[in-house]
Chains A and B, each alone.
Chain A
């Protein structure tokens, strides 16, 4: 009887061990399939008195970025290859300046919706660069990139790579609709 109990206990230990090993899936892989990056467009036009700095400030208040640093207009082409800075009417762009994390938030208002259309490609390319850079460097941070948001709404384009992109996007939508 004791042998049977021992046998049952050992079998249970093996089953638990096997189950725990099988369930140890890398977080980034799970996140990648659960929340892919999006690059959507929307037609709604936001209020005229909205400015980009207010939007990024509101996001950073709720979803902070380590070593957040606001970039100036002249440096934008260093980060967004092919971006037509002359077509920008208003913008605010924060990055994690230490290089430790891929976090960044950008909100642009362009002169025309065609300018905004054209700018989306530069933003998509930026996200691709970040993905290539960080996927081997800090795989634990890839959930921020895999769930990144790139959206255009009228003359506006916004780009979110944060620890909580869903929350960040809901804040942006509060301004831009």
Chain B
């Protein structure tokens, strides 16, 4: 009898131990799931240890008909920027038959208009070379480039800035940030874009500088959580504010590539929901030309 009680006691301890281990495993699985789906970003994890430098905490409440977004203001230390994260919004997700038709407004542009212009961007801008829109001499583009790496990365012995200095273009178009959405802070990226603009302005004092919004993502890409329209819109608003401060022109390409649901129009989106089809480049160049000529 005494032996049986001892066995039961050991069994009970093992049961409790097992329950505890399973609970820890479930918690880990949940955390990994949240991290993989983008609901828990590296910045959030970092901010747990650094509450005084916490980024904006965005709480999104999705109801059946509407999406409400609540934003808590940033708490800044003396070392951090005084900029605050702008309001971030999600697309409506309601599609209409007119969505594609609205998106395809115009794709005509004059090649000679851009003959002395220079483009800085990521893999999306490699398409300018790949599709033959411009020669390599007019483009500094690399797969994975972001506002941080654009300051230092080299291609053919040039950085983005030194290539601009050598070229002395009439106009400079910069579109960067899509690659940093998942792991660089939006404020940091906008700050780095400002540094890039200032460096370009210093070496190319006669060039007109245009900062281009990053493009939208498709609804399917958004659902994967890596890059979402909330992130895209949040960064673009910061970018617009930076342009106003720096005195350069902000070009809202993003809205020109969206369908009526607020996501990347399928007429322009590559299968991954992030990159451009060939049609999107024509749309972009047409928009640039019309914006500048107006």
Contacts from A to B (Cβ < 8 Å) = 3-4, 6-7, 10-11, 13-14, 17, 66-67, 69, 71-72, 75, 78, 95-101, 133-134, 136-137
Contacts and interface: CB of A to CB of B under 8 A. Distances in A.
A78 B156 CA distance: 10
Of the four ranges (under 10, 10 to 19, 20 to 34, 35 or more), the interface on chain B belongs to: 20 to 34
Contact of A137 (B18, B123, B129, B130): B123
B223 interface: no
A98 B127 contact: yes
A71 B126 CA distance: 14
A14 B271 contact: no
B274 interface: yes
B144 A10 contact: no
A75 B135 CA distance: 9
Contact of B278 (A69, A95, A137): A69
Given A14-B21, A95-B130, A100-B123, A4 B277 contact: no
A97 B164 CA distance: 24
A133 B143 contact: yes
B11 A7 contact: yes
B270 to A, nearest CB: 4
Contacts of B21: 14
A13 B15 CA distance: 12
Interface string B254-294: 00000000000000001110111110000000000000000
B49 to A, nearest CB: 26
Contact of B270 (A11, A14, A100): A100
B9 to A, nearest CB: 11
B19 A3 contact: no
Contacts of A99: 123-124, 126-127, 130, 143, 275
Given A10-B15, A99-B126, 12 more contacts: A6-B15, A10-B22, A14-B21, A17-B22, A67-B275, A69-B278, A98-B127, A99-B130, A100-B275, A133-B142, A137-B123, A137-B144
B8 interface: yes
A88 to B, nearest CB: 19
Given A3-B11, A3-B12, A10 B19 contact: yes
